[in-house]
Chains A and B, each alone.
Chain A
Amino acid sequence: MTDNRTLEPKTYTLTRADLVAYAEASGDHNPIHQDEEVARSVGLPGVIAHGMYTMALAARAVADWYPGAELVSIGTKFTAPVVVPAAGGVEVEVAGEAKEPVDGLTTIALTVTSGGQKVLGMPKAVVRAP
Chain B
Amino acid sequence: MAVDQSLVGRSFPPTAPYTVTEVAVRAFAEATGGEYAGGPAPATFPIVLAFDAMNAFLEAERLDLFRIVHGEQRFAYERPVVPGDVLTATLSVASLRQIGGNDIIGTASEITDADGALVCSTNATLVHRGPDAS
Chain B contributes a number of interface residues (CB within 8 A of A) equal to 34
Establish whether residues A71 and B65, one from each chain, have CB atoms under 8 Å apart when the complex forms. no
State the main secondary structure of chain B at its contact with A: mixed
Q: Provide the bound-state CA to CA distance between A75 and B33, in Å.
A: 20
Nearest CB on A from B87, distance (A): 13
Contacts A12-B33, A18-B33, A53-B32 hold; do A75 and B65 have CB atoms under 8 A apart?
Answer: no
Establish whether residues A59 and B74, one from each chain, have CB atoms under 8 Å apart when the complex forms. no
| A3 within 8 A of partner (CB) | no
Residues on A with C-beta less than 8 A from B129 are 42-43
Contacts A21-B27, A43-B133 hold; do A75 and B74 have CB atoms under 8 A apart?
Answer: yes
Q: Provide the bound-state CA to CA distance between A42 and B72, in Å.
A: 19
Counting from the closest, the 4 A-B pairs by CB-CB distance are: A75-B74, A51-B70, A59-B43, A21-B31
What residues of chain B have their CB less than 8 Å away from a CB belonging to chain A? 24, 27-28, 30-34, 42-44, 47-48, 51-52, 55, 65-77, 80, 123, 125, 129, 133
Could you list 5 A-B pairs, sorted by A, with CB under 8 Å?
Answer: A12-B33, A43-B133, A51-B69, A60-B33, A78-B69
